[in-house]
Structure 1
Amino acid sequence: MAKHRIYTTSFSSVYPLYIAKAERKGRTKQEVDQIIRWLTGYSQVDLEGILMGVTDFETFFAEAPAMQPARANIKGVVCGVRVENIEEPTMREIRYLDKLIDELAKGKAMEKILRAP
């Protein structure tokens, strides 16, 4: 079975779309970066380095230093699919990020987005 094309798409090519979506709704690049760091464990310096290169989504998530355990609490629908029902691990990670950015754009508080206890 062929991989979905998002796997080979560079993270840096999609990142500006995340920023634009957030900024259209009055949120900030810093909040998008905070979400990405929370989900993946990348530092800001590491994230900025990735954005300078051509790291694809599959590699971005495979090399993430510390995937957030609380990400399993992310529930809901992205692109018509419930994220908690996605079986393929990399696609689930991508959709977790999509869902978090959606929540940011919808005005949800950062504490809730980051699943603070």
Structure 2
Amino acid sequence: MRFALIYDLYLKKVERKNRSKAELNQIIEWLTGYDAVALQKQIDSDHSMEIFFTQAPALNENVTLIKGVICGYRVEEIEDPLLQKIRYLDKLVDELAKGKKMEKILRQ
């Protein structure tokens, strides 16, 4: 799947729940290490989710604090590294859409 397509789905999801694009971008940047300019380049590109995560500067050191179930799987138990990163992002977006405070989403 293309990252830009997934990003659009994430954006629609969070906006339906009265959250903002800026908040979505903040959690993606927190997770991946992209800055705003680099993230926008990824959104504008035709890259797959795999390339998006491969090119990410660095996963946040607190990524292991992301726990819970997403799509029926515990994110901390997913063995495939790429799938786990995707599910980490899914989990953060779900938390944003459910109205959690940014401090909790960003594990601060």
Which TM bucket (shorter chain)?
Answer: over 0.9
- Residue 66 of structure 1 and its aligned partner are, at CA, apart by 1.6
The partner residue of 1:46 within 19, 35, 38 is 38
- Correspondence for 1:103: 95
Code of the residue aligned with 1:55 in structure 2: it is H
Corresponding position: 1:57 with 2:49: yes
Using the aligned pairs only, state the percent identity.
55
What whole-Å deviation, never above 9, does each CA across 1:55-113 have from its counterpart, x for those lacking one? 11111111110210101110011101110110010100000000000000000000000
What whole-Å deviation, never above 9, does each CA across 1:2-41 have from its counterpart, x for those lacking one? xxxxxxx110011011011101111000000000000000
Q: TM-score, normalised by structure 2?
A: 0.98
Code of the residue aligned with 1:63 in structure 2: it is Q
SS in 2 for 1:69: coil
- Residue 53 of structure 1 and its aligned partner are, at CA, apart by 1.0
- Correspondence for 1:94: 86
Separation in structure 2 between the aligned mates of residue 69 and residue 85 of structure 1, nearest angstrom: 17
Q: TM-score, normalised by structure 1?
A: 0.90
| Structure (1 or 2) with the larger CA radius of gyration | 1
